[in-house]
Structure 1
Amino acid sequence: MRLPVLFNPASGTHPKDPDALLRPLPKELRDRVEPLPFGPPWDYAPAIAQARAAGGPLLVWGGDGTMHHAARALLDAGCPVAMGVIPGGSGNGLARGLRTPLEPEGALQRLLEGRELQVDLPRLDGVPFLNLCGTGFEAAVAHRFAGLPSRGFASYARATWQLWRTWPEADLRWDALRGPDPEPTSGFQRIREAWRGHDPDLPERAWSLCFANLPQYGSGLWIAPHADPTDGALQWASLHRPSWFDLLAEAPVLFREGGHTPLRQEGRLLRAILHLDRPLPWHLDGEPAPERDRAELTVEPRAFRLQVTGACPWA
């Protein structure tokens, strides 16, 4: 019994070649896996059963939307195995946040040589997500992007540009439990927390707002650099609408892991009920979600199993 590598031949911006994926692997690793093309009616049960019989994990090759739906299928099945993320989408925010190699061949080998990590499972009104959810400008872009005929960074940038100048801010009202900051467990973390300082107050207005379990949107944009998928909390992050000057001077900072910019604020919370001044679109891991003017955010500590590489920074 071999470990299944699920992939959707029609997804992503480049064709998926399973032979090219396996060719660089050592024979002992190549003999452990079996690529399986996947599509409608999207029945994950046989692949999950095969992964379980082979000792796991369930390896999934695709983008953030594919990972979102595979994770929900694993949750429905009771998480019998971990999920391994092989990047094959447009932004690959989940893979980037976990520090998984972006080349699918290298990612597969490192995952097979890797380890299991139990990560927090956040939910938006009870619906789980792995990387982040959000509302406002970023969700409007996700809805616009989902309706475009083509994928890739160019299409995403076009959707962003179309909405940048016209999307309005929203008034926010919070009922939130922020909780104490976690105690640093290493010298590096102590230095990092000292440099970071205290969390800002929860915003009363926002143009774009997300709740992050991991630090990246995708395509290299660090929206919540302090997000930790093992701390039992969510990192909220808001973006101010950038001016023309900001687009040149500040926006590039968002693409550096250690970059500090007044465009972004972030803080930590354990759970929250958020009231908006009007119904707004939402997204879950980049997938469009229904409009709502009230949202409940919760976190289940260490409730999902991921297969990660040795480069993943969380123990």
Structure 2
Amino acid sequence: MATVTRRRNTGQITGESIVIEAAWLYYHDGMNQTEIASHLGVSRATVVNYLQEAKERGFIRISLAPKAFTTHRLAEEMRERFGLAAVYVVPDGTGTEEDALLRVARGAAEWLPSLLEPGDKLGVSWGRTVYEMAEAMPQVQTDRITVSQLVGSMATPYGFTAEICSAHLAQRLGAKLINLHAPAVLSDPELATRLRAEPIIRDQIDALSHCNKAIFAAGSCDHSSHIVSSGLASHSDLDWYIKRGATGVLCGRFIDAAGRFIPGELDDRMIGVELDKLQGLDMGLLVSVGADKVRPMLAAIAGGYVTHVVTSVATAKGMLAAG
């Protein structure tokens, strides 16, 4: 399905207007390129250029109905095997791992509006996939949605800090935003305790317990993962959790293969959602892709945090083979 905004001139159609006219005739009136060329008095090749320009300039937004991705065989097999409410599986297509991540993020952005209802309180985690999902989200009109930042802020060389993920998503949804105005991790447990008790931070953390829906990614326990490169955990922290069975990371917290929370010293210094607040929600939307995410995703599902999944064909097949 494509949408295009039409603007008409009373005189000769030129410049931007002819690009919009060509797009309208093609996507709304169902004319083929030859017919449009005849109608506009240009060559067919020119019409092709007009349609490409319309896409590049954002005059056209093409989307596919979520049903196409949630009802085919692989999605249904995932749903049944893991006891999920629904699964959205994006084709692998061609390209790099980066391309796969962007496709999955776009799929999540296409699907999310249909999963929201008036009055929902939506918790949003952080990470590259969540950030790209927020960036791909079209501007939509929602009713009384509140977006809450699930994990505190962090100094990171990347553009996908937690506050940017939640703020951008809230803006695209036209939602109220509750940011968590505190670092994700502090150096001193006592300082973290005092900061949690500050009225403004206390109220923001309390809002997290009222979220009925959440979006998050599953992080790996590799030393190259974002949990380390963002400064949330050190290499020695990671080794400590791995020795105790850590299989994945969810909202900065470590979980084992069964999805059980692994408490540790790092948690005493963290400010963010506690994992038990993510269990039993109306929707726990897990958005992840890649072979290294298979085990963390399975762990998150096993722990009861997940009701909905967006992933790629290759990752879905990997999960079914491993699960």
Instruction: Give the TM-score normalised by structure 1.
Output: 0.25
Find the structure with the greater CA-based Rg.
Answer: 2
Could you say which structure has the higher helix fraction? Answer: 2
Higher strand share: 1
Taking structure 2 as the reference length, what is the TM-score of the superposition? 0.25
- Tell me which of the two structures has the higher relative contact order, counting C-alpha pairs closer than 8 angstroms and 6 or more residues apart: 1
